[in-house]
């Protein structure tokens, strides 16, 4: 102990001791830093470049719609007389869905019912003349053939001197049973008898008269009804029918009843909703695609659609229309894209207007290289990977990331399947190495 104190009394010795202590402290500090570095290095893990089938997609959203769709409302006021449908029913175009009591509506509608009957009869009288003309053409043809046959037959009788004939005589003969009449027929050829000629001439005159009468009818009908008269008559029918139709809600196309807002006895006003009707076999989604993606979208691209209102349901379809004229939405240029959906099974609940999430496949699935998302690093030169080489040193390799699938991301760059990658745990503190070095 005394010797140590003597050393501190010696200035030169004291300096040496302090230098040794400083070196020991520095060594301990360095050892601590190295230990921390090794701990962080141990925290670093590695992964391998893998292969993944990836399809290029564009995501967008819109709303579920049906084509055609109709909101059927009343064109007059009144009291509901009958409701012939309920929600879920399938109806044909022209079906009468709901009706009003005629007495509860205006007098003009009631009188229109009588006007419709009269207008329809007037129109039929004009149009049916065409049917008469068609029949007359057939009748004239038949009459002409009958007349030609009659002319030929009369000429045959007048000119042929060897016309086959037969003559039957009745002779009274005596037999063992007494006298009896016996019929004897004589067959011969010769000129036509006078009564034959007279009968043929009379038949020819009749056929001629019939032909001439039909020809006069044809001449009267051949020009048909006056076009302006037909148009005027049709206009009267249409006007009367439109007025009468105000008494009813009529299906404008084949479809499914989505909702019915009326009950028998309800009082309704003009413009009040009665029935929602849609063709649920033809559903579509119209969505907006960013200008940066629209060039990649093509007609026929396949798409999948999910609905916020019906979780777990995935619909399929394809792009059927692309509007080439963009519009500004929230400061961004968007283009309307329509996706027609494939027919879904009957009875499926698909509420129209619900938010539809659309994923459009713009490129078919193909094998691509993929790495864990944690392997992607960034610096001033862009994205890169730390490739572990055969000697366990790392090398920076520039890459470009693409589609993300789960916890991996597709990449392109100078890497291949099976390459080892370093994953850095950025969550831990890595103390700097006071002696330099590192990657």
Average pLDDT over residues 300-326: 92
Pair (177, 196) in one structural domain = yes
Share of the chain above pLDDT 90, in %: 42
Six-digit token string for 66: 């049906």
SS3 state at 392: coil
Residue 262 has pLDDT above 90, yes or no: yes
> What pLDDT, on a 0 to 100 scale, did the predictor assign at position 139?
92
Q: Which residue, of 367, 400, 418, is where some domain finishes?
A: 367
Q: Which residue has the higher pLDDT, 359 or 186?
A: 359
Q: Is the pLDDT of residue 177 over 70?
A: yes
* 75 and 130 part of one domain: no
The CATH number of the domain holding residue 61 is 2.40.30.170
Task: Report, as an integer, the average pLDDT of 114-140.
Answer: 79
187 and 240 inside one domain? no
- Short-list 419, 422, 414, CA closest to 397: 414
Residue 74: which CATH number? 2.40.50.100
371 CB contacts (<8 Å, ≥6 apart)? 47, 49, 50, 385, 399, 408, 409, 411, 415, 421
Q: Which residue has the higher pLDDT, 10 or 186?
A: 186
Residues 254 and 187 in one domain: no
Q: In angstroms, rounded to a whole number, what is the distance separating the alpha carbons of residues 278 and 255?
A: 5
> Residue 430 pLDDT > 70, yes or no?
no
- Those residues whose C-beta lies under 8 Å from the C-beta of residue 7, and which sit 6 or more positions away, are 13, 14, 17
CA 281 to chain centre: 8
CA 27 from chain centre, in angstroms, equals 78
The tens digit of pLDDT for each residue in 19-64 reads 444 454 444 444 444 444 444 443 458 899 888 776 678 889 999 9
Q: For residue 435, tell me if it sits in a domain.
A: no
- pLDDT of 221: 74
For the residues 131-150, what does the mean pLDDT come to? 88
Q: Of 352, 367, 382, which closes a domain?
A: 367
φ/ψ of 344, rounded to 5, equals: -100, 165
Indicate the pLDDT class of residue 353, thresholds 50, 70 and 90. Answer: very high
- 96 with 118, same domain: the answer is no
Position 135 in a domain: yes
pLDDT given at position 185:
81
Q: Is residue 314 part of a domain?
A: yes
Rounded-to-integer distance, Cα 280 and Cα 84, Å: 20
Instruction: Decide: 83 and 95 in contact? Cβ < 8 Å.
Output: no
* Dist. CA 388–CA 48, nearest whole Å: 10
How many angstroms separate the CA atoms of 131 and 60, rounded? Answer: 59
**Domain-located, residue 212:** yes
To the nearest whole number, what is the mean pLDDT of the chain?
82
Range with the lowest mean pLDDT among 68-82, 195-209, 226-240? 226-240
Distance between CA atoms of residues 91 and 103, nearest Å: 27
Q: Are 17 and 410 in contact (CB under 8 A)?
A: no
150 found inside a domain:
yes
CB under 8 Å to 74, separation ≥6 — which residues?
100, 246, 249, 268, 269, 270, 271, 272, 274
Question: Is the same domain home to 27 and 132?
Answer: no
Indicate the length of the chain as a whole number. Answer: 439
CATH code for the domain of 177: 1.10.287
How high is the pLDDT of residue 24?
Answer: 43
Distances (CA, A) of 334 to 57, 296, 341, 355: 17, 14, 22, 18
If one counts every other C-beta atom within 10 angstroms of the C-beta of residue 365, the result is 11
At 130 the pLDDT is 62
Contacts of 309 (CB under 8 A, 6+ apart): 351, 354, 355
- Best CA proximity match to 266, nearest among 23, 82, 32: 82
Range from 140-154, 216-230, 337-351 that averages highest in pLDDT: 140-154
Secondary structure percentages of the chain, helix, strand, coil, to 5:
35, 40, 25
Give the span between the Cα atoms of 95 and 407, in whole angstroms.
56
Report if residue 396 sits inside a domain.
Answer: no
Residue 373 domain flag? no
Residues 87 and 63 occupy one common structural domain: no
**One domain for residues 87 and 141:** no
Q: Which domain holds residue 257?
A: 69-100+234-277
Name the 3-class secondary structure at 425.
coil
| Residue 434 in domain | no
Sign of the C-alpha dihedral computed for residues 329, 333, 336 and 339 taken in this order: negative
**Is residue 179 domain-shared with residue 92, that is, in the same domain?**
no
- pLDDT tens profile 404-413: 777 888 888 9
For residue 34, what pLDDT is reported? Answer: 41
Q: Of 349, 367, 385, at which residue does a domain stop?
A: 367
Query: Total structural domains in the chain?
Result: 4
Of 47, 13, 154, nearest to 409 (Cα)? 47
pLDDT score of 51: 83
What are the pLDDT digits (tens) for 195-230?
Answer: 999 999 999 999 999 999 999 888 877 766 667 777
What residues does 386 pair with on adjacent strands? 396
Of the pLDDT bands very low, low, confident and very high (cuts 50, 70, 90), residue 263 is very high
Q: Are residues 16 and 129 in the same domain?
A: no
- Which of the pair, 217 or 287, is modelled with greater confidence? 287
Residues 220 and 238 in one domain: no
Q: List, in sequence order, every beta strand (DSSP E) within 43-162.
A: 45-48, 50-66, 69-73, 78-83, 90-91, 96-100
Q: Are 406 and 50 in contact (CB under 8 A)?
A: no
Pick from 119-128, 181-190, 232-241, 423-432 the range whose average pLDDT is largest: 232-241
Residues β-bridged to residue 188: 165
> Does 270 lie in the same domain as 249?
yes
d(CA 435, CA 210): 129
């Amino acid at each position: 102990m005394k010797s140590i104190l003597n050393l501190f009394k010696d200035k030169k010795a004291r300096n040496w001791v302090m230098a040794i202590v400083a070196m020991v402290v520095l060594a301990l500090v360095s050892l601590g830093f190295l230990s921390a570095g090794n701990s962080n290095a141990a925290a670093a893990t590695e992964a391998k470049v893998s292969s993944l089938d990836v399809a290029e997609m564009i995501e967008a959203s819109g709303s579920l719609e049906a084509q055609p769709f109709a909101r059927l409302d009343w064109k007059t006021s009144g009291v509901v007389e009958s409701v012939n449908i309920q929600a879920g029913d399938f109806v044909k175009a022209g079906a009468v869905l709901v009706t009003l009591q005629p007495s509860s509506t205006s007098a003009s509608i009631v009188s229109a019912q009588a006007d419709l009957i009269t207008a329809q009869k007037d129109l039929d009288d004009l149009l049916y003349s065409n049917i008469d003309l068609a029949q007359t053409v057939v009748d004239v043809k038949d009459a002409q053939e009958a007349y030609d046959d009659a002319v030929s037959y009369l000429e045959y009788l007048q000119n042929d001197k060897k016309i086959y004939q037969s003559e039957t005589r009745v002779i009274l003969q005596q037999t063992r049973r007494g006298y009896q009449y016996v019929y004897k027929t004589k067959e011969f050829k010769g000129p036509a008898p006078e009564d034959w000629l007279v009968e043929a001439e009379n038949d020819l005159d009749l056929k001629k008269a019939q032909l001439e009468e039909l020809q006069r009818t044809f001449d009267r009908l051949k020009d048909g009804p006056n076009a302006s008269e037909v148009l005027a008559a049709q206009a009267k029918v249409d006007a009367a029918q439109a007025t009468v139709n105000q008494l009813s809600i009529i299906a404008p196309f084949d479809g499914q009843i989505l909702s019915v807002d009326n009950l028998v006895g309800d009082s309704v006003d003009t413009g009040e909703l009665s029935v929602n009707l849609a063709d649920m076999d033809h559903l579509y989604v119209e969505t907006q695609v960013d200008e940066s993606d629209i060039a990649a979208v093509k007609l026929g691209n396949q798409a999948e659609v999910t609905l916020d209102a019906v979780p777990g349901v995935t619909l399929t379809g394809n792009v059927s229309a692309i509007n080439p004229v963009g519009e500004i939405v929230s400061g961004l240029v968007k283009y309307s894209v329509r996706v027609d959906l494939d027919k879904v099974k009957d009875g499926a609940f698909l509420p129209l207007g619900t938010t539809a999430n659309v994923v459009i496949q713009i490129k078919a699935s193909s094998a691509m290289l993929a790495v864990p998302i944690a392997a992607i690093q960034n610096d001033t030169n862009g994205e890169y990977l730390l490739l572990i080489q055969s000697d366990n040193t790392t090398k920076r390799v520039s890459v470009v990331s693409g589609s993300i699938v789960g916890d991996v991301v597709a990449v392109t760059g100078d890497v291949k399947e099976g390459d080892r990658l370093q994953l850095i745990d950025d969550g831990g503190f890595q103390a700097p190495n006071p002696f330099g070095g590192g990657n």
